[in-house]
Amino acid sequence: MHPIFEFEAMVKHRERAAGRIGPLLPVLEDLGERLLDRLDDTSRRFATALDFGGRGAIAPALAERGMEVVSADFSPAMAARAGGKPLVLPGPNDFGLPEGGFDLVVAHLALHWLDDLPGALIQLKRALKPDGLLLASMPVLGTLQTLREALLDAEEALTGGVSPRVSPFPELRDCAGLLQRAGFAHPVADVEELTFLYANPLDLLHELRDAGETNALLDRQRRTPPRALFPAALAALPVQEGRMAATLRMAILTGWAS
């Protein structure tokens, strides 16, 4: 498998974001509740839960539901602030999770920076007890699409070349298949599409940085971009109600361990 992301850069971005993410928690919590609403669809009760990369938006909500929560992250600082018992994951190829240790695993907007998504899902399934539940959310194709296109167009106009600045996202139709390949029973994937409006377009870039979503693509441009790049790209983004619009297409995945 050809690597897409630089793991060390992703961890560094999450470490820096741990001290900045507070103002974004209401948004992450709202998105998290859309995921955790799926718990209302089952009569199963869960005692032990793994919060995988939840950044403080998941563990408190699970604890309020009476669960004992372990918060795992590749970033020590993010694991420490997530709200459960902190667990620092050693690396992307071996999470080091206890086999059959949890009734519930929740991975909220935490899988899309990993090269081996099927392998990550297999590891999370292994961490579940029989009949345990995985809930996961991730951005899918269409997320930040207008920003991706605007950056490519602006960079080509300014420099005659382009470099990747927005991550590739999977297609929704592939998500249930990924769960099935990982061995989950009753795999389901649906999507919620949300539009965020910004009076100041730069706020979008600042929020992505403060959430730990800075570009970690292995093939990213390492040189400082032209000063005019981001203003030109942001000026080309669509406007709704007088504000710049950005779209998140969030897939919600559910699957049961057999």
Contact 53, 73 (CB under 8 A): yes
> Does residue 85 belong to any structural domain of this protein?
yes
Does the pLDDT value for residue 60 go beyond 80?
yes
The pLDDT of residue 2? 79
> Does residue 158 belong to any structural domain of this protein?
no
The pLDDT of residue 85? 98
> Does residue 24 belong to any structural domain of this protein?
yes
> Does residue 241 belong to any structural domain of this protein?
no
CATH number, domain of 196, equals 3.40.50.150
> Does residue 65 belong to any structural domain of this protein?
yes
What mean pLDDT value characterizes the chain?
95
The string of pLDDT tens digits covering residues 171-193 is 999 999 999 999 999 999 999 99
Number of domains observed in the structure of the chain: 1
Res. 223 pLDDT band, cuts 50 70 90: confident
> Does residue 16 belong to any structural domain of this protein?
yes
Q: What is the mean pLDDT of residues 38-65?
A: 96
- What pTM was estimated for this model as a whole? 0.95
> What is the residue range of 194's domain?
7-141+170-220+248-256
Res. 1 pLDDT band, cuts 50 70 90: low
Please report, rounded to a whole number, the percentage of residues in the chain having pLDDT higher than 90.
91
The string of pLDDT tens digits covering residues 5-39 is 999 999 999 999 999 999 999 999 999 999 999 99
> Using a CB cutoff of 8 Å and minimum separation of 24, what contacts does 199-204 make?
199/242, 199/243, 199/244, 201/234, 201/235, 201/237, 201/244, 202/230, 202/234, 204/147, 204/234, 204/244, 204/246
Contact 135, 39 (CB under 8 A): yes
> Does residue 22 belong to any structural domain of this protein?
yes
The string of pLDDT tens digits covering residues 87-143 is 999 999 999 999 999 999 999 999 999 999 999 999 999 999 999 999 999 999 999
The pLDDT of residue 103? 97
Please report, rounded to a whole number, the percentage of residues in the chain having pLDDT higher than 70.
100
> Does residue 87 belong to any structural domain of this protein?
yes
